Chains A and B, each alone.
Chain A
């Protein structure tokens, strides 16, 4: 408990240290266009909160990135189970996963723009960025399930549903949690990048692009802060969800 409090204090000091460095650098440069101070950014953020379109932009982007993420996790789980059950399915899916991993986000964004409307591009992009990570990790978790435990389950005639509940899920959950943690950040980064390239009306990406066009660096920083906070809250929510799932599986 004491070490947790100490760690939190250290983290707070580290954040304060970097904020001071930022403030000093901003004072030194003395030009808001290049580097606004943290105080200016926070003030700008508070003034933006009351503006029309602030919350709708957040809702627009949030709903799309969450949709892409959730659909991707569902598809990855389904296809990982299928790949484990069938070598043919595994061989079919593997090249797609490798291609998605190796392709730059910008290429996927531009190609996807040819096929679909820019309004839903971030759904597709976050889906594609999350899928290979969750798929590979979950598949590894399933394949690393203790073979001796499965043999014991055979001899004890454990039913399929119970095998999943008591053997496969406890094995897969740590892999799943790790992959979700890694994929969440990527979903946000790639989703926002897609919006900045495709500029759907009313998105955070469009706001970020406008800030760049109008040389409004405090706006750019304020929107970036919004994205960081959203990504952080989103990550905390999903990690709490997986922790609750883990506790339920532990029994």
Chain B
């Protein structure tokens, strides 16, 4: 996957000019930078959510799935209902919930969960969807070290052989997913 950007503006600010980035298919790559450098914007251009730029993307994934920086869950419904929105297979949804350490929480309203639990529901939902490329925007925010390792191992297991693009400000998070290449902004 390769993106060539002639120019990308965000409001009046030029974020990228005459820039190119490549990401190997079927492996994990990292876009790493401090806050405010355009990591999320670059991800959105790569997966087709942001087409408002001069340039092109070669090998854009046909079935991208994004774990957004915000959890983007429906707060007023149960954990299981959030998962059932993306799958028809209740057993898979329950199994994924168990994999992220939330067994027994399927009936809980999302609005009653802690920040870390909501993050895990968002991760479970993203991993239930079929994808050819998985974009993870700060996937481990709000999680403790042990849970980070458990979730990283789950992601690598589910996404085996498929492209993963990790967007993070943390070298440690990149190491958790055994990232093979990095783009630094």
A: interface residue count bin: 20 to 34
The answer on a CB contact under 8 Å between B109 and A250 is: yes
> How far is the CB of A117 from the nearest CB of chain B, in Å?
44
Cα-based distance from A119 to B73 in the complex (angstroms) = 50
Main secondary structure of the interface of A (DSSP, over half): helix
The answer on a CB contact under 8 Å between B78 and A148 is: no
Could you pull out 24 A-B pairs where Cβ atoms are within 8 angstroms? Answer: A146-B74, A149-B74, A151-B49, A155-B47, A156-B65, A156-B85, A156-B86, A156-B126, A156-B129, A157-B63, A157-B86, A158-B86, A162-B84, A162-B85, A166-B84, A167-B85, A170-B76, A170-B77, A249-B76, A249-B81, A250-B81, A250-B109, A251-B80, A251-B81
> How far is the CB of A228 from the nearest CB of chain B, in Å?
33
B68 near A: Cβ within 8 Å?
yes
Q: Give chain A interface residues in 103-155, CB to chain B under 8 Å.
A: 146, 148-149, 151-153, 155
Main secondary structure of the interface of B (DSSP, over half): loop
Cα-based distance from A125 to B73 in the complex (angstroms) = 41
Q: Which residue of A lies closest to B125 (CB)?
A: A156
Additional A-B contact list (8), CB under 8 Å, known A148-B70, A156-B129, A166-B74: A148-B68, A155-B66, A156-B125, A157-B129, A162-B85, A170-B77, A250-B76, A251-B107
B40 near A: Cβ within 8 Å?
no
Contact with A along B118-134 (1 / 0, CB 8 A): 00000001100100000
Cα-based distance from A85 to B163 in the complex (angstroms) = 36
The answer on a CB contact under 8 Å between B72 and A251 is: no
B29 near A: Cβ within 8 Å?
no
Given A148-B70, A156-B129, A158-B86, A251 contacting B77 (CB threshold 8 A) = yes
B101 near A: Cβ within 8 Å?
no
Given A149-B72, A167-B85, A251-B84, A155 contacting B64 (CB threshold 8 A) = yes
Taking CB atoms, residues of chain B closer than 8 Å to A167 are 74, 85
Taking CB atoms, residues of chain A closer than 8 Å to B78 are 250-251
Q: Which residue of B lies closest to A148 (CB)?
A: B72
Q: Which residue of B lies closest to A150 (CB)?
A: B72
Taking CB atoms, residues of chain B closer than 8 Å to A158 are 85-86
Which A residues fall within an 8 A CB radius of B? 146, 148-149, 151-153, 155-158, 162-163, 165-167, 170-171, 173-174, 249-251
Cα-based distance from A162 to B125 in the complex (angstroms) = 14
Taking CB atoms, residues of chain A closer than 8 Å to B82 are 166
Cα-based distance from A50 to B157 in the complex (angstroms) = 76
> How far is the CB of A215 from the nearest CB of chain B, in Å?
54
Taking CB atoms, residues of chain B closer than 8 Å to A157 are 63, 86, 129
Q: Give chain B interface residues in 19-72, CB to chain A under 8 Å.
A: 47, 49, 63-66, 68, 70, 72
Contact with A along B75-93 (1 / 0, CB 8 A): 0111011101110000000
> How far is the CB of B129 from the nearest CB of chain A, in Å?
5
Cα-based distance from A129 to B154 in the complex (angstroms) = 56
Taking CB atoms, residues of chain A closer than 8 Å to B126 are 156
> How far is the CB of A243 from the nearest CB of chain B, in Å?
13
